[in-house]
Amino acid sequence: MADQNRRKQLASLLAAFQSPGHALPIPELAEYLRLLRDLRIRDSDNVVTYGGHNLQQLAAALPEEELWLVYEQVAIAALDSRAMALATSLIQKVRKKFPKSSRTHRLTSMYLEACGETAKLSEFHKQILEDDENNEAILKRQVAVEKSKGSVSSAIELLRKYLDTYMLDKAAWEELGALYLQASLYQQAAHCYEELLLHMPSSIAYYVQYADIMYTIGGTHAAGHRADVIANDYRTAQSYYAAAVRMSEGHNIRALYGLCATTSQLSGLKGRNAQSKDAADVADLAAQTLIRRYQEECESLLPHVKELIQDHNLSAASASQSSLATLPAASTSKKSLAISPAPQTTALVRK
């Protein structure tokens, strides 16, 4: 919710900047740039337009430490926007102030990439890594370069090596998970989110993403695996969707849809793999909550939501809120995570 509020504040500030005749107060501009950094949003064109054209005023208003962060932010935005003169002047400022720092190495690498100087870029990375083989900024830049070339497999390999050294880097695990998903390597992606859940067991977003991956694995297993394997995948997804619903107090729409979808998939299984009545009640509660939310917030879409719920053979009749407690709790301990990576998956992630 905190990120959502900050995104709303960001949108409000940008709307004010873009309104006709609006003067640009420097404190508001500084806050806008700060929010972009905190939320890890580039918004390069607007950063160049508003930040790049007001650097002198920002320099007079900001403390020195924050000013250098702004210089770096505007330099990266200028590279994205091909404002090369602005980028060059700012990178030179940073290089003069911090000649051998990681931020200088990172900006130089980005500049060479933006200029298309492939040979110089490769040589630059090689020189830095000869002096410091575990240089975090350059190792990350190598991954970014491979991604920009469309070489997903090379980016995965480099990021795996990076995580052998920097295994607590949550952003790197997120990136590796996204790359595995891009390559349709779902078991490996699931392992990445298991690691992330160990680092941040209170992250609703990680619960939902892990559940999405397990749901997808269930679908990929449907053609060639036993019913109990498929049921285990869907039940794992179901328990993590339920955990996300509990943690968000019913406000996470994606998790609510996920509960409906997993129940629909499990409803076709028979015998010991069949859907339990408690789990069906939970899905009915999710359907009921979805209908109420759309009635309150987006009534125009309500007929489509009702049709979707009907297609999944769910009931929007009243269900007990306590039904959520009857599903197995999603675990975030390494030993008892609902699915453990298969041996070949672990080997791929940590070779």
pLDDT tens, 62-77? 999 999 999 999 999 9
List, as one string, the DSSP characters of 168-187: T-HHHHHHHHHHHHHTT-HH
List, as one string, the DSSP characters of 25-90: -HHHHHHHHHHHHHHT---HHHIIIIIGGGHHHHHHHS-HHHHHHHHHHHHHHHHHTT-HHHHHHH
SS (H, E, C) 99-150: CCCHHHHHHHHHHHHHCCCHHHHHHHHHHHHHHCCCCHHHHHHHHHHHHHCC
Query: For residues 323 and 285, is the Cβ–Cβ distance under 8 A?
Result: yes
Nearest to 241 by CA among 228, 229, 227, 253: 253
pLDDT of residue 219: 80
pLDDT of residue 156: 97
Q: Which amino acid is at 263?
A: T
Query: For residues 327 and 279, is the Cβ–Cβ distance under 8 A?
Result: yes
Quote the mean pLDDT of the chain. Answer: 84
Whole-number Å distance between alpha carbons of 286 and 242: 9
pLDDT of residue 86: 96
Whole-number Å distance between alpha carbons of 208 and 32: 29
CA 91, chain centre distance (Å): 29
| Tokens matching residue 60 | 């007079």
State the DSSP code for 342.
P
Query: For residues 239 and 328, is the Cβ–Cβ distance under 8 A?
Result: yes
Q: Which amino acid is at 275?
A: Q
If one counts every other C-beta atom within 10 angstroms of the C-beta of residue 319, the result is 20
Low-confidence ranges of the chain (pLDDT < 50): 318-327, 333-351
pLDDT of residue 270: 61
pLDDT of residue 348: 27
pLDDT tens, 224-233? 666 778 888 9
pTM, to two decimals:
0.73
